[in-house]
Structure 1
Amino acid sequence: MDVKNKVAIVTGAAGGIGAAIAQRLLEAGAKVVISDLDAQRLQATADRLANEIDPKRVIAVAGDAAATETITRLIEAAEGHLGPVDIYFANAGVGDASGLDADDAQWQQALEVNLMAHVRAARKLVPAWLERGSGYFVSTASAAGLLTQIGSATYSVSKNGAVAFSEWLAVTYGAQGIGVSCLCPMGVDTNMLNGGNQNDGTARKTTSAVTSAGEVLDPLVVADEVLKALADETFLILPHESVQEFRRRKVADPDRWIRGMQRYAGSLVHG
């Protein structure tokens, strides 16, 4: 898909990958609604993008990306100010360093934001896209959605769900004009990743598992890969090439892969 003159919604866009995607979209000529739960940071990002690129092509709508009410407001804001939505980036995400100690509230938050936010957005958008014969859904999952995340059960399970839902969308609607891509990076220089460096114990181990596995990328580098994938209509977006090899090993010999992950986790405990 050529993003020029297209209308896009990007959630989780106050910073990190979301803000970077919004920037690259605007630079490529798209019109963008950005959203985030943090209204103050979101407005600062919108102001920066407006000043640096074009104030007429970016608007900000704060809210919870997992709430149907927020998704509805985002779509209405786009249609009212920019035009019908062409692309939806389900990018908002949450992570923690919980294992079996995670309570039901932590599980619920992870599943709501990392998975159900995608389901609810697709539920609102896909019927209209089918009528138009075009539309594009981009899910931000994680390498953890293809592999797993040492130290975080909630993140691993919810991101695996996001990958599975993206695959289902592509299989079900791809032949009817609906494009689907799923972004699965490893380490990206964002607040979510860097926050773990400031904590002890499991949180620091979770962050170390990511930063030790490969290069930590700038969000704009990831955004470049996303726009390239849209242009090529590529399903799986892997900014870290090593993820494909890790995935191949997992599929080829799951038992060997799990033993290797056990050793890696052990090295983080003692490292």
Structure 2
Amino acid sequence: MEIVDKVAIVTGAGAGIGAALARRLVAGGARVVLADLDAEGVGRVAESLGAGAVAVGGDVSDELVIRGLIERAEAEFGPVDLYFANAGIGGGAGLDSTDQQWAAALEVNVMAHVRAARLLVPGWRERGGGYFVATASAAGLLTQLGSAPYAVSKHAAVGFAEWLSVTYGDHGIRVSCVCPMGVDTRLLHTGLVPPEHAAEAELAVKAVTTAGAVLSPDEVAEVVLAGVSDEHFLILPHPEVLKMYRHKGSDYDRWLDGMRRFQAALQG
């Protein structure tokens, strides 16, 4: 997959990984629609990128908003070639997470992907190709200490990306699933767990920042676009996640014991 002259949509593009992806896409010759709930923020990012980028504010878990993104891309640039389902949120803490917190995490981290694919895949099948890039998390392969909704919704995001690849890969549709650990974004520092759950919020951040390097959004975007160019399904900005994932699969009970010890050490 080459990005020159391609049309892309990037959600969660007002800051962080999404903004970095948009910058690299435009620099590589793509034309991009940037979307974010923060309309002012995403507008500033798009303005900085020139004529190859436009911004749309809105909730990208809303099917009407997603439909509007696709229509805007087609009107400005042409049919959508790549969709980066990058927007994501944290969630509640543990069993005391509210139904609203669970619903919000599932809506943004999972159903936003489902709804976008529902709108894009039929047209991609007719055209013979398209590319769906889902930003999940290492938490979707491993887990997230301190936040049940985040851990569960990111597992679901990985599962949906797998299903999409298996089901439509023979129809020219490519899928990648991005699973980073620590990235220097607002989500890591203030958004994984609500601040009123101070102990769980501290645990969640420590679990990420002590497990490996905290990368910049630009470093992650570079790895993501390299993975897309090579059409890799699993894109791991932190390569050590693969070793962790293999350990988990080879001896699940031992991995669970190790995670409990890791949690106890962080809380001690």
TM-score using structure 2 length? 0.97
SS of aligned partner of 1:137: strand
SS of aligned partner of 1:102: coil
Shift of 1:196: 5.8
- Matching residue's letter, 2:156: G
Deviations 1:102-125 (A, max 9, x none): 010000000000000000000000
Shift of 1:44: 1.5
Shift of 1:96: 3.0
Q: Of the candidates 201, 213, 221, which is equivalent to residue 219 of structure 2?
A: 221
User: Identity across aligned pairs (percent)?
Assistant: 57
For 1:12 and 1:131, locate their aligned partners in 2 and report how far apart those are by CA, in whole Å: 28
For 1:61 and 1:80, locate their aligned partners in 2 and report how far apart those are by CA, in whole Å: 13
- Answering whether residue 8 of structure 2 is matched by residue 13 of structure 1, we say no
Shift of 1:97: 4.7
What aligned pairs does 1:1-271 form with structure 2 within 5 A after superposition?
A: 1-49=1-49, 55-195=50-190, 199=195, 200-270=198-268
Shift of 1:230: 1.0
For 2:140 and 2:201, locate their aligned partners in 1 and report how far apart those are by CA, in whole Å: 18
- Matching residue's letter, 1:16: G
Aligned pair count reads 265
8 Å contact kept, 2:92–2:102: no
- Matching residue's letter, 2:54: I
- Matching residue's letter, 1:91: N
For 1:32 and 1:112, locate their aligned partners in 2 and report how far apart those are by CA, in whole Å: 24
In structure 2, runs of 5+ residues without a counterpart are none
- Matching residue's letter, 2:125: L
Deviations 1:170-218 (A, max 9, x none): 0000111000000000000001001169953211111110000000001
- Matching residue's letter, 1:144: A
For 1:16 and 1:70, locate their aligned partners in 2 and report how far apart those are by CA, in whole Å: 21
- Matching residue's letter, 2:236: L
8 Å contact kept, 2:92–2:101: no
SS of aligned partner of 2:65: helix
8 Å contact kept, 1:196–1:206: no
SS of aligned partner of 2:36: coil
SS of aligned partner of 1:264: helix
- Matching residue's letter, 2:260: Q
8 Å contact kept, 2:10–2:22: yes
TM-score using structure 1 length? 0.96
- Worse-superposed segment, 138-147 or 88-97: 88-97
In structure 1, runs of 5+ residues without a counterpart are 50-54
Q: Which runs of 4+ in 1 moved over 4 A?
A: 196-199
